A and B are shown apart, each in its own frame.
Chain A
Amino acid sequence: MADFNIDDKVDITDVVCPTTFVKAKVALEELDDGQILAVRMNDGEPVQNVPRSIKEEGHQILKLIDNEDGTYTLIVKKVGD
């Protein structure tokens, strides 16, 4: 994650769909336009679906990082207020 200046982090590995996306969305709402959020999520359904849902909300996805522990971290730049 060294390549990105992370402004905030959220862990959604403790919830299931659709709360995964809701938790990430709420975290994004707390940020200002242009700030960067790191979202930690489980392999499987969350990593298949959450990036797409965040894209559909209009935010900018920068990177998906494999943490090699069964979780992934999605780096998202907030777009719009």
Chain B
Amino acid sequence: MAVDYGTLKKGGFMRQKQKNNFSLRLRVVGGNLSAVQLAKIAEVAEKFGDGHVHLTSRQSVEIPFIKLDDIDAVKAALAEGGVEPGVCGPRVRTVTACQGEAICPSGCIDTFALAKELDERYFARELPHKFKFGITGCQNNCLKAEENDLGIKGGIKVKWRESDCINCGVCEKACRSKAISIKDGVISVDEEKCNFCGRCVKACPTDAWDTVHGYIVSFGGLFGNSISKGEAIIPFIEDKEKLMKICDAAIEFFAENANPGERFKFTLDRVGREKFNEKILEVYNG
């Protein structure tokens, strides 16, 4: 019987150079695995692989040297530890994320919660080509949002709250964009310069800021054979519901307009960015 490599690839089994050996890609969300999952992965790598795993460039784990005949046994064993195969090919891939607000002092959004939500909503959805989501918690951009087809960056929109301010002057210096100025005890934020990094809030000794934690979204990034930075075409998004609608609209646009094997950036270039921008702005303003 001929081996259906397409189906295997879809199920995360990547053909190796070595005949009848597969590197099994696992489903990882936001770069997090539990100790139980890790123990099971180790056990499977020992028993069915050659005793090592590979950490992929996008936060997944692959177990190489899985034999064709063992595929079902491997899947069953992994399931015992709550581990599922990942995907490859033309569909929504691993949703990557930094540690975010839950762990990192710099984080502005809960990246892992968002990664789980996006994973549940889109993971493995069939599309004309691969589609990558990446979520980074702040302007430090550890997760490199703009190299993804759809990148999300957390930010904090700030408004000075005079009643709690002691006029210490720390925020003006904490701001790296020089967006904050203080005159006669009055603090102003230049909205043109503010990049939503949240440093003023995090440095403020009295938390004298009203804040909205939200998202900066970029579209059409890629970092493979061609390299291109995703573009942010809409302003700061203040609520998650709107973010989800925008993600839906971007994916729909890609599904409807892309040629097979065409990455999002090239669809945007071919179809026209104005057309896409118009659609996304409509959702943003809706």
Contacts and interface: CB of A to CB of B under 8 A. Distances in A.
Interface string A44-81: 00011101100110001111111000001010000000
The listed residue with most B CB atoms (<10 A of its CB), out of A49, A52, A74, is A52
Interface in B191-228: 199, 202-205
Interface stretch (B50-58, B156-164, B165-173, B240-248): B165-173
B199 A61 contact: no
Given A48-B199, A52-B199, A60 B173 contact: no
A64 B105 contact: no
Contact of A60 (B202, B203, B205): B205
Interface string B167-192: 11110011010000000000000000
A51 B105 contact: no
Contacts of A66: 169
B166 A51 contact: no
A70 B170 CA distance: 15
A48 B176 contact: yes
A56 B105 contact: yes
A28 B169 CA distance: 21
A72 B205 contact: no
Contact of A55 (B166, B169, B203): B203
B199 A64 contact: no
B173 A63 contact: no
A13 B88 CA distance: 53
B173 A48 contact: yes
- Provide the main secondary structure of the chain B interface: loop
Nearest to B204: A55
B96 to A, nearest CB: 27
A63 B169 contact: yes
B202 A64 contact: no
The listed residue with most A CB atoms (<10 A of its CB), out of B167, B173, B202, is B173
Nearest to B167: A63
A45 to B, nearest CB: 10
A79 to B, nearest CB: 11
Contact of A61 (B105, B170, B176, B202): B170
Contacts of A56: 105
A64 B176 contact: no
A61 B173 contact: no
A49 B204 CA distance: 11
Contacts of B176: 48
Nearest to A54: B205
Nearest to A65: B169
Interface in A10-53: 43, 47-49, 51-52
A61 B208 CA distance: 13
Nearest to B168: A63
5 contacts: A48-B173, A48-B176, A49-B174, A51-B174, A52-B203
Leading 10 A-B pairs by shortest Cβ distance: A61-B205, A52-B203, A64-B169, A47-B173, A51-B170, A63-B168, A64-B170, A51-B203, A64-B168, A55-B205
